[in-house]
Structure 1
Amino acid sequence: MTDPAQTAARLVLVTGPSGSGRSTALKALEDIGFEAIDNMPSSLVPRLVRARLERPLALGLDTRNRDFSVNALLRLVEELASLPDTVFDLLYLDCAEDVLIRRFAETRRRHPLRPDLPPADGIALEARLLEAVRSRADMLVDTSALSPHDLRAEIVQLFAPQGRGAMGVQVQSFSYKRGIPRGVDMVFDCRFLNNPHWQPDLRRLDGRHPAVAEFIMQDSRAQPYFEKIHAMVDSLLPEFAKEGKPLVMLALGCTGGQHRSVAMAEKLANALARGPWRVSKRHRELERKAGMEPPANE
């Protein structure tokens, strides 16, 4: 018997604040076989998709569209979600306001909503306008710490044909000093574990180094804690998959995001990779460090 999910048309609506990476995401979708159209007036979308889609289709819509309104966009989303024989997803690319301000400053662009004012004014207004759309999103990708290359990898993981049928699981480490990552489904705190930062020979290393991981796991609380996390996540992932969730995001945090959370995230990702899931891992503060941004100290 033919799987209906394999014969259904694929439709993705990509939106989010200006500067969040929509063009990069659409290009990545185009590279994996989608027909990609950006800045199409939302009033024309129903006519475009009324006929049977011959190829997967990705549409980029945002506040720059000449007929944009939040209510109209939400109505369009509900209309597209109700199309028969169509798998529809609203992909929202989110980004922290301070990062958007920096991106506009680096490119010397004016914000489309407030071209005569500083970009911060337009960014704040756009965030308020899109709040309801963000809440409706089927998929949310926070691009604040992502390079264009990283964003492309995220999109490929979510939408590449070879990835269908297996839910994605992203395990990431972070520093509580920089805040909990946006869009995560479960957060685990590693700050109570023994801290390698206070060991002079381990301080300059990170949690991927065997010596750091060994030091952390020597803490009598570490292995029981890991086993509880693994057991809970392992029991919940099949339930997420039954609900059709394409990506589950797990975050493990410590004070500086260099040692304890990194080691535990590596251990959890490796354990989950032995299951049926498509597992990826990110270390937010290590990526910032590699990008020459000073990390928060442990």
Structure 2
Amino acid sequence: MKGDTEILVITGMSGAGRSTVAHTLEDLDWYVVDNLPPALLGNLIDLVNVSVKKVAVVIDVRGRAFFDDLTKSLAELADQGVSRKILFVDAADDALVRRFESTRRPHPLQGAERILDGIAKERERLREVRDSADIVIDSSALNIHQLEKKINKYFHEESESDLRVNILSFGYKYGIPVDADLVMDCRFIANPHWIPELRPLTGKDKAVSDEVLKSANVQEFLERYQSLFETMASGFISEGRKFLTLAIGCTGGKHRSVAITEELVSKLSKGKNLAKFKIETHAIHRDLGREI
């Protein structure tokens, strides 16, 4: 029965939302185990009821042998035919500091030092596992309910698509999204912000979209981006990757990046070199609605 079981390892920065992710998955009928030593992953699969198909494990990385044990345990599960993924929950340092200060609790690794020192130690310890994660979620700008909603989007219904692609528009002035697999800068495009009648509109409005798409080099950019995406997507699919986040940035995340993101949503799922795959694309506008 092991080949029918899917295991999801939930890890990430302390204070980033691991517990919220676990509780949300429990509500979605996942069998969730908290704070399991990585070496016991194989034993867990043997012990759970054979009717349990989806198992999520929250792993605390304070143990020094965490990464070596996790890598070994996941490799053993793969040999046994168990489908496994790593979900890494991350957040910016300033967001983590605010959360620890609001709860008046110390960071688990800070000891007699500052919260920031504990965060730095944990981030370094987690660097390798973050690089190998299948899904990275940045909770910096999310409250608990928004994080729950994001997890629901990923896991509520099993998609039959070969690859789910989130195309995320953002503003550089608000920071680069840490959960992006590929970041592209579209500030080379003439900015509709400087056209008075377009300034109050957004990239979702046709007038702004038309202005952006007719700008010099934009069509060439879209063609080259689609070609790059097709190369990446076919490789990710062959490696068993199910989720991909593409980030498109402009200055404020209101005009250019939004228009380009909307255009890419319709283009990327129709690539001629991906015809044999089912590609599911979604637009997310992180900074739309912020003050510019």
Superposition TM-score, scaled by structure 2 size: 0.84
| CA offsets 1:66-110 (integer angstroms, 9 cap, x no match) | xx4242343133213322021111211111111111222333333
Aligned match of 1:61? 59
Aligned residue runs from structure 1 range 19-30, under 5 A: 19-30=15-26
Structure 2 residue aligned with 1:77, among 51, 61, 71?
A: 71
Supply the AA of the counterpart residue of 1:264.
Answer: I
* In 1, Cα distance between equivalents of 2:129 and 2:223: 38
1: CA distance, partners of 2:170 / 2:162: 26
Distance 1:69 1:245 in 2: 28
Partner AA of 2:191 in structure 1 = N
Determine whether 1:252 maps to 2:275.
no
Letter in 2 for 1:204: P
Q: How far does residue 9 in structure 1 lie from its aligned partner after superposition?
A: 0.9
Equivalences for residues 1-298 of structure 1 within 5 A: 7-42=3-38, 44-51=40-47, 54=50, 55=52, 56-63=54-61, 68-83=62-77, 84-114=80-110, 118-273=114-269, 276-286=278-288, 289=290, 295=291, 297=292
CA deviation profile, 1:169-195 (whole Å, cap 9, x unmatched): 010112233443224232222111111
Q: How many Å separate the matches in 1 of 2:216 and 2:110? A: 56
Matched letter for residue 79 of structure 1: S
The C-alpha deviation readout for 1:130-168, integer Å capped at 9, x for no partner, is 223223323222222333344334333444452254311
CA contact (8 A) 1:81 1:89 kept: no
Which deviates more, 29-38 or 160-169? 160-169
**Identical-pair percentage:** 37
Where in structure 2 are there 5+ consecutive unaligned residues?
A: 272-277
Q: How many angstroms apart in 2 are the aligned matches of 1:89 and 1:203?
A: 43
Q: CA-atom RMSD, angstroms?
A: 2.7
Partner secondary structure for residue 162 of structure 1: coil
Residues 104, 201 of structure 1: alpha-carbon distance in 2 compared, 3 angstrom cutoff? farther
Query: Distance between the aligned counterparts of 2:119 and 2:149, measured in 1?
Result: 26
- The letter for the 2-side match of 1:141 is I
DSSP-derived class of the 2:16 partner: coil
CA contact (8 A) 1:20 1:143 kept: yes
Moved over 6 A (4+): none
Deviation at 1:10, TM superposition (A): 0.7
Following the alignment from structure 2 to structure 1, what is the Cα–Cα distance between the partners of residues 239 and 180? 17
CA distance in structure 2 between the aligned counterparts of 1:191 and 1:128, rounded to whole angstroms? 32
Check whether the contact 2:42–2:76 (CA below 8 A) recurs between aligned residues. no
Q: Which moved more, 1:136-145 or 1:10-19?
A: 136-145
The 3-state SS of whatever aligns with 2:247 is: strand
The alignment partner of 2:65 has SS state of helix
How many angstroms apart in 2 are the aligned matches of 1:72 and 1:118?
Answer: 23
CA distance in 2 between counterparts of 1:9 and 1:53 reads 11
Counterpart residue identity of residue 17, structure 2: G
Partner residue in 2 for 1:292: none
